[in-house]
Amino acid sequence: MKKFAPTKAEIALLQPFAGLALADIHVPTTAAEFASAAAEIRGAGVAGFDTESRPTFAAGEVSDGPHLVQFALHDKAYLFQLHHAVGHPFLLELLQSDAFIKVGFGLRSDSKHIRAKLGVQMRAVVDLNTVFSMRGFHKEMGVRAGVAQVLKRRFAKSRHVTTSNWSQQKLTPQQMLYAANDAYAALKVLEALNLKREALPFMGLPVAAAKRKQGLSLRAALLTLKYKILNIIK
């Protein structure tokens, strides 16, 4: 049975999503700051993930993004600006790391652009659009619909900010808040779904295989329960 995402009218009635404050958002600029950020992100186990690129407006113009990569943890976010070359080794290591899960909306596109610009294949990636597709939603959700569906909150997106210049040297407070909370919202949605790691559809793993893994996990749990009951009876 097909399911449908909340409509714009339904979303408008919800209370606003409580995101990270400006004080919780960090933009590293030195090698020491990048190293510290990378260590914390790697040790988090899971991070909300997103990228931003300077928009293109002319016909035939090709974006050279991403220009910003966002990692959101449970109480803070780190924004990696790609014009800081000193941060590239740390960013490349994080993108290719299996040590923590990167979760977001529409990450297939982000992964493609990262591969084109940085020459690396992202690992341990979960696209929430795939999660919702496995649950019967027939259209891609996106962060606004996903937050509304799972968290019953309204995620605000300003076109003025989303189409701003993400390649500029210094981000505005509005850009920082939007970029950080785009990634943070994905993390909160995943937390609310309360899925076990083995049930997650990692990018590169066919959805059918992910469903089989989920089914195997359920069968294993039922067998364990049956074994415990038999031991009690004995």
The 101-104 sheet, strands edge to edge: 25-26, 77-81, 68-72, 46-52, 101-104, 125-127
**Residues 124 and 202: beta-carbon distance below 8 Å:** yes
3-class secondary structure, 46: strand
Q: Name residue 47's beta-bridge partners.
A: 102
Q: Inter-axis angle of helices 173-193 and 142-151, to 10 degrees?
A: 50
Length of the chain: 234
User: Distance between CA atoms of 97 and 43, rounded to whole angstroms?
Assistant: 11
What number of other Cβ atoms are within 10 A of residue 86's Cβ? 14
Query: What is this structure's pTM?
Result: 0.85
Which amino acid type is present at position 130?
T
Using CA of residue 221, residue 224, residue 228, residue 229, what is the dihedral sign? Answer: positive
Mean pLDDT by 10 residues, the chain (234 residues): 87 97 98 99 98 82 88 98 98 97 96 96 96 88 95 94 94 98 98 93 66 48 48 50
What number of other Cβ atoms are within 10 A of residue 171's Cβ? 21
What number of other Cβ atoms are within 10 A of residue 165's Cβ? 12
